Structure 1
Amino acid sequence: MFPTRLLRPAYTGTFIQVAGLKNFTPPPKYDHISLPEKPKLHFMEKVPTYPANLKPPKMAKRLTLMRGPEPIHNQLIHQQYGVVALCGGRLHSGHIEMIRMTINRKMDASKMFAIWRIDPPWQPLTRKGQGKRMGGGKGAIDHYVTPIKAGRVIVEVGGKCEFQQVKTFLCEVAEKLPFKAKATSYELMQEEKIKEQELQDANINPYTTEYVIKNNMGGCHEWISLYDKKWFFKHV
């Protein structure tokens, strides 16, 4: 008896083409999208303009302008693509100019457009000179910033294009910002909301963070922050 061996067909190196029907998804239509006259981002002034007889006012830190979720500018107007902040922070003129130069250079102005969703720098930050002793009042204004809250849409990009065409330079912008941000689209934002709601509905543990804080379990009100009582550890 000879040992049984698995016989394999010899490789001939020939390819046989098989004809058949193929169903390709049609490309998206952008007939409803109209491009503006000036599709690129405009320049933002580094210093706000004041009347000639008004001395530039100084301001406290006002950290509440960066805390918590963004209540208004948290949706995409044109329902296409944009950069969204994931936590609070501040943008100065250098960051804003970086966003403008990166997007204006790398986007196709004949098919795309970009719009700002933030205000120009308006909040003054003061600073004292190096080597000065303490006291002597508040220092001089050093520069101006724009406070950003979590969920704020910073810049929005749209036009006759897909997300893969703009994702590269939008991710580059998001990585260079001084706080955590991401490049996203309208569809991804809707999917995240649906997934978050599904996880909340599927949770079988009744002792959620909101339930524990609202009922002061373990006397947590004595040591948690006032902001934790309001946002339940979601925005630190």
Structure 2
Amino acid sequence: MFSTRLLKQASYSRVMIQIQVAGMKNFQPPPDYSHIQLPEKPKLQFKDKVPTYPSNLKPPKMSKRLTFMRGPEPIHTEFIHKQYGIVALCGGRLHSGHIEMIRMTINRKMDPSKMFAVWRIDSPWQPLTRKGQGKRMGGGKGAIDHYVVPIKAGRVIVELGGKCEFEQAFPFLKEVAHILPFKAKATSYELMEAEKIEQQRLKNANINPYTAEYVIRNNMGGCHTWISPIDKKWYFKYV
């Protein structure tokens, strides 16, 4: 009898301890997308694999022109719609297969009723030549094999916007960025601005005077004899 009474008191006290208390909730209001106008054609458009030339003009050939891929991008480095996109982290080339992969992946996984995507690159225009297998050296330049578009570091490749948040677009933008033949990242306008502020803060907080730029400009250790002319211009930032 005594043990039963103790068990009842213990169970009653346990129930009394588990009391839920309601607190103040502070939910942020949803973002306002009323100012965004979706275009008539929200999906990425098809790009020609080969540039069009007049009928009386033979398609010209070109050398490699590695300068088209080296260094930072001078123009297309900002988002026009100030939302989301894919940005190249180093130089490289995109041919028609890469461009078609970007177009099909984004068009398949985006919601055209809420999102839109726009290209920020040109159609393939630089010709690359190749000789047939088994041919001997010499005999002039080979025939045109395919066309590419050169990309520099910091170039915005594709831009995505609409009435959506970054968490909705990040998965398939990241998937596309990882398949590209060079390093790229899926980012947003806010993240890019935060990175610029952080880079400037680190630059101002650096107390070490011997930076790569200082060492190369002053030819410390005779580095001009073994570094490349590209490093003398960009200070090991762009390869």
Q: TM-score, normalised by structure 2?
A: 0.92
TM-score of the superposition, structure 1-length normalised? 0.93
Q: Helix, strand or coil for the counterpart of 1:113?
A: strand
**Matched residue SS, 1:155:** strand
Give the number of the structure whose residues are more often helix, by fraction. Answer: 2
Structure 1, unmatched stretches of 5+, are 1-7
User: Which residue of 1 is the match for residue 186 of structure 2?
Assistant: 183
Q: Choose the corresponding residue for 1:73, options 73, 76, 100.
A: 76
| 1:67 match: secondary structure | coil
Give the number of equivalent residue pairs: 229
* Structure 2 counterpart of 1:143: 146
The 2-side partners of 1:14 and 1:178 are apart by 60
CA distance in 2, matches of 1:119, 1:141: 19
1:84 match: 87
Corresponding residue of 1:222: 225
1:103 aligns with 2:91: no
Larger Rg: 2
**AA matched with 2:128:** L
2:23 & 2:220 partners in 1: Cα distance?
Answer: 66
Secondary structure of 1:154's aligned partner: strand
SS class of match (2:147): strand
Displacement after TM superposition at 1:21 (Å): 2.5
Is structure 2 residue 20 aligned with structure 1 residue 21? no
5 Å matches for 1:99-178? 99-178=102-181
Report how far residue 170 of structure 1 moved.
Answer: 0.1
Q: Secondary structure at the match of 2:204?
A: helix
Alpha-carbon deviation of 1:197? 0.8
SS of match in other structure, 2:170: helix
Aligned twin of 1:4: none
Question: How far did residue 168 of structure 1 move?
Answer: 0.4
Q: Percent identity?
A: 78
Q: Which whole-Å CA distance do the structure 2 matches of 1:50 and 1:11 have between them?
A: 85
| CA deviation vs aligned residue, 1:201-232 (integer Å, no higher than 9, x gap) | 11111111111111111221222111111111
C-alpha displacement of 1:11: 5.8
Moved over 4 A (4+): 8-15
Give the Cα–Cα distance (whole angstroms) in 1 for the partners of residues 103 and 22 of structure 2: 50
Report how far residue 12 of structure 1 moved: 5.1
Runs of at least 5 residues in structure 2 that lack an aligned partner in the other structure: 1-9
2:144 maps to amino acid: I
Deviation readout 1:106-159 (Å, 9 max, x if unpaired)? 000011000000000000001111111111111110100000001100000001
**Matches of 2:117 and 2:16 in 1, distance apart?**
52
